[in-house]
A and B are shown apart, each in its own frame.
Chain A
Amino acid sequence: MQTQEKEKQTETRHMLLNVGPSHPAMHGVIRFIFELDGETIVSADTEIGYLHRGFEKMCEVGPYNQAIPYTDRLNYVSPLINNFAYCLAVEKLMGLKVTERCQYIRVIMSEISRVTDHLTCIGATAMELGAFTAFLYMMKAREFLYELVEQVTGARLTVSYGRVGGVKADLPEGFADQTRQVLKEVRKVLKEVDKLLSRNRIFVDRVKGVGVISKEDAIAYGITGPFLRSTGVNYDVRKAQPYLIYDRLKFEIPLGTNGDNLDRYYVRMEEMEQSMIMIEQALDQIPPGVVRIHEQGEPMVAAQMVDEAKMGRIAGIAQRNVLLDPTLQGSTKGFHEKVNVEDKKTVLPPKEATYGNIEGLMNHFKWVMFGHGIRPPKGEVYFPVEGANGELGFYIVSDGTERPYRVRVRPPCFPIMAAIGKVLEGGMMADVVPTFGSVNMIAGELDR
């Protein structure tokens, strides 16, 4: 009798809780509005768009190659994959096929990027669950890989390494040995992290059976990547529609069974191992690049070359080795012959030619001047690659001019974020953090 009266007096209501857009547990700027019954989430509303920069609109303004720096800023944890995806889409539109060496370079750099992406994802998730050591270990491993990326591209994050018809620069000397050494270090770190996390009671209790999505739901929401594979669906663009030289590499697609956070953690851990196996295979198979021979005398400073040429002293200038700005070291003649496509309309001429003869100079200007540059034929193309978070597709419409008519990117995070509300519903408030961490949401590609 007494309790009944008490129940009448205490009225229970659902509480609305706002999380974000700037919250310590949110990796990027995103806002959740939860309706809570006690600590249980009744419904979740996701609001995105806080990092919208108008990527697609900006791409329509400049020439084709000027979109490449923008693609760095999509998924800024693995920018190289974005670079190559865009280049591959434009190349498909133009009917170009890049050289063998370039394809291998692209695969090696993509897989390095994938490892850095997964390291960041697992590291950040572990940190949010209190495992700070694992985070620092993984950042250490990522740092080794970033150093490799820096050597090749000249930048750590905003790499802009891809070019339509090739890449910016060849791999530096001794890259293969150094990479093998780095992979050894990364494996050591992964082994340590595996020991720290995989059988750690606190970690496993927080992630096991949490954030479950069924196979059918994942497919219906168009989810791809590790998130889909954790439910046991075998879809990987590298296997389903092989591009570059992925069909020559032997690798496996790790699959989960439950579709929960723990499976996503395992899938990512195993994918890193598979990526490293791929890098090693590619390093074994890659055709040789340029061996720098200094038989044409001492290299000449580029500015001096221009001065000499202006004064008409051009005899033998085109044969000299040129000493370039550190960021352009890869753009020499030998590199062009080995890596870039043989199409003067597509790639910049080698720097010796630009400075040393009029044809090269004209070619250079025809490429960089306003209203000039590459002109893919009229048409449209969709090219998917396997990004770190799932299928990354570029849909490009060309009207035959030097600017893309429309560039659309299919961000892998977008469908996952569309489904995340459904995944979180029915769970506990504290489970938001590990589930959201396992999505690896990158606001840059989500909001574009």
Chain B
Amino acid sequence: MDILNQLKSKFSEYVIETHSQCGDATLVIKKEGVIPLFSYLKTSPELDFNFLMDLTAVDYLGREGSRFEVVYHLYSLSKNHCLRVKVDVGEEDSSLDSVSSLWPAANWYEREVWDMFGIKFKGHPDLKRILMYEEFQGHPLRKDYPVNRRQPLVKPVPMN
């Protein structure tokens, strides 16, 4: 892929690897490169990624290296091309820079990632839970959160 090679040479200090499995161009970067890379992707006229289609995370519990991956799916309306960018985020310092200043769409997506995975976004205007309630303990989509653990807000009342 042209885009991948171009980005790889331009941001060689941040890029960890690239692949295009199943035809999806993918770039894996270090989290220090979030702001420089994404501002370039958005503003560069030949790439012009004006859509942040999706932002999510994956918990690779127990793998070597960093535990989380934050996954961005970008789309360019004018060039009609897509790019997936994955950012490695470790467990100890699970925080990275927010891209909500570049794409307002990231605001809610980042809140969801914080809610579900406990990954913090620095510079986010209002990072709070979105799908779960404030009293909820833990982050449900982490692999070490048991699937059948319940945290009801209202406790069952005995009938008598």
Residues of A within 8 A of B140 (CB): 54, 57
Indicate whether A193 reaches chain B with its CB closer than 8 angstroms. Answer: no
* A 221-245 contacts with B by CB, 8 A: 221-222, 233, 235, 240-241
A381 near B131: Cβ-Cβ < 8 Å = no
**Is B132's CB under 8 angstroms from A49's CB?**
yes
CB of A222 within 8 A of CB of B56, answer no
Give the residue of A57, A381, A410 whose beta carbon is less than 8 angstroms from that of B53. Answer: A410
User: Does A52 belong to the interface (CB within 8 Å)?
Assistant: yes
* Residue in B closest to A448 when the chains form the complex, CB atoms: B131
Interface positions of A from 376 to 423, Cβ below 8 Å from B: 379-382, 384, 391, 393, 395, 397, 405-406, 408, 410, 414-415, 417-419
Indicate whether A235 sits within 8 Å of B108 (C-beta atoms), given known contacts A61-B147, A405-B58, A408-B54: no
B120 lies within 8 A of chain A by Cβ = no
Most buried by A among B22, B26, B80, B107: B22
Given A233-B77, A380-B21, A382-B24: A220 in contact with B53 (beta carbons within 8 A): no
Give every chain A residue within 8 A of B109 (Cβ-Cβ).
414
- Cβ contact within 8 Å between B105 and A220: yes
Chain A at the B interface: mostly helix, strand, loop or mixed?
Answer: mixed
Produce 1/0 per residue, B111-145, CB < 8 A to A.
Answer: 00000100000000000011111000000110001
Tally chain A residues at the interface, Cβ within 8 Å. Answer: 41
A222 touches B52 (CB 8 A): yes
Given contacts A221-B104, A240-B80, A408-B56, contact A393 B132 (CB under 8 A): no
Residues in A neighbouring B56, C-beta threshold 8 A: 395, 408
Pairwise interchain contact B130-A382, C-beta atoms closer than 8 A: no
Give the B interface residue count (CB, 8 A). Answer: 34
- The answer to the question of B73 belonging to the interface, with a C-beta cut-off of 8 Å to chain A, is yes
CB contacts (< 8 Å) of B51 on chain A: these are 219, 222
Q: Which residues of A contact B21 (CB under 8 A)?
A: 379-381
- Chain A residues whose CB sits within 8 angstroms of the CB of B82 once the complex forms: 241, 382
Interface status of A447 (Cβ within 8 A of chain B)? yes
Inter-chain contacts of B71 with A (CB < 8 A)? 395, 408
Q: Which residues of A contact B54 (CB under 8 A)?
A: 382, 393, 395, 408, 410
Residues of B within 8 A of A61 (CB): 147
B103 within 8 A of A: yes
Complex Cα distance, B82 from A231, in Å, reads 22
Contacts of B94 in A (CB 8 A): none
Closest B-chain residue to A89, C-beta based? Answer: B22
Whose C-beta in chain A lies nearest to the C-beta of B105?
A222
Q: Please, what's the 1-or-0 string for B82-115, where 1 marks a CB less than 8 Å from any CB in chain A?
A: 1010000000000000000001110111000000
Question: Which residues of chain A are within 8 angstroms of B132 by Cβ–Cβ distance?
Answer: 49, 52
Q: Does B50 contact A (CB under 8 A)?
A: yes
Cβ–Cβ contact A384 & B53, under 8 A:
yes
A182: min CB distance to chain B, Å = 34
CA distance A61 to B132 in the complex (A): 20
CA distance A381 to B54 in the complex (A): 13
A351-389 near B? 1/0 per residue, CB < 8 Å:
000000000000000000000000000011110100000
Within 8 Å CB of A448, what residues of B? 131
| A241→B59 CA distance, assembly (Å) | 29
Asked if B22 and A379 sit within 8 Å, CB to CB, the answer is: yes
Interchain CA distance A222-B107 in the complex, whole Å: 11
Interchain Cβ contacts under 8 Å between A and B, 19 examples:
A48-B131, A52-B131, A52-B132, A54-B140, A57-B145, A58-B147, A92-B22, A93-B22, A217-B104, A220-B104, A221-B104, A380-B21, A381-B24, A393-B53, A393-B54, A393-B73, A395-B71, A408-B56, A410-B54
Residues of A within 8 A of B (CB): 48-49, 52, 54, 56-58, 60-61, 92-93, 95, 217, 219-222, 233, 235, 240-241, 379-382, 384, 391, 393, 395, 397, 405-406, 408, 410, 414-415, 417-419, 447-448
Given contacts A58-B147, A220-B50, A393-B53, 9 further A-B contacts (CB under 8 A): A48-B130, A61-B147, A220-B104, A241-B80, A382-B82, A393-B73, A408-B54, A410-B73, A415-B105
